[in-house]
Amino acid sequence: MQRERKCSGLSLTLVALAGTCLLAGREARADGEDWQSRAPHIQTDPTVQTALRFATSKLSNARCQELFVDFQDLSGRSLATKLETLGETPSSYLTLIQFYDAGEEGPCRPHRFAVTIPGSHVVYLCGPRFRKCVRQSPGRAAAILIHEELHSLGLGENPPSSAEITDRVLNRCGP
């Protein structure tokens, strides 16, 4: 149970103000190189693949797919409509997202697991923290990826808050 609690707190802290953080500044290093250009691509990382398998399994459930009707993009269009326009399903769209390891840099302050800018096909995972979450609770790690998928499709934040998004993902798709 103790291991589960460490990852379960994500509903209150997951990606708080992630878009704002990324849009507010690029968090350049002293030598001028920003963290995004140094983030390694980790699509084939075994831990990421585990979370993706769990997320894909959850997205095959009709109740989980209701998320895409629940939420809208920044222009007010439902994410389900956006998927339909793109000719994608929730599972197939997830395969279009590229995952990079932001490590502990950039937006990966304490209690964050991942960040993306609404509409971007790039998700930055907070490497060590995300990997630990996958080991402790792959279902919750899958919820993180689904949460980020919603942002990738154009869902903004505040409103709804990061916690509200995650709570909805967990409610519809399970832990």
- The pLDDT confidence band at residue 29, using thresholds 50, 70 and 90, is very low
Mean pLDDT score of the chain, rounded to an integer? 81
Exposed / middle / buried, residue 30 (Cβ in 10 Å: 0-12, 13-18, 19+): exposed
Residue 2 inside a domain? The answer is: no
Residue 139 inside a domain? The answer is: yes
Sequence-distant (6+) residues with CB within 8 A of 144 are 10, 14, 51, 113, 114, 130, 133, 166
When divided into structural domains, the chain yields a total of 1
Residue 27 inside a domain? The answer is: no
Domain that holds residue 89: 9-19+39-173
Q: Is 120 left (phi over 0), alpha (psi -120 to 50) or beta?
A: beta
Residue 151 has a pLDDT of 96
Q: pLDDT at residue 170 above 90?
A: yes
Over the stretch 31-64, which tens digit does the pLDDT of each residue have?
334 756 666 556 678 999 999 999 999 999 999 9
Residue 175 has a pLDDT of 86
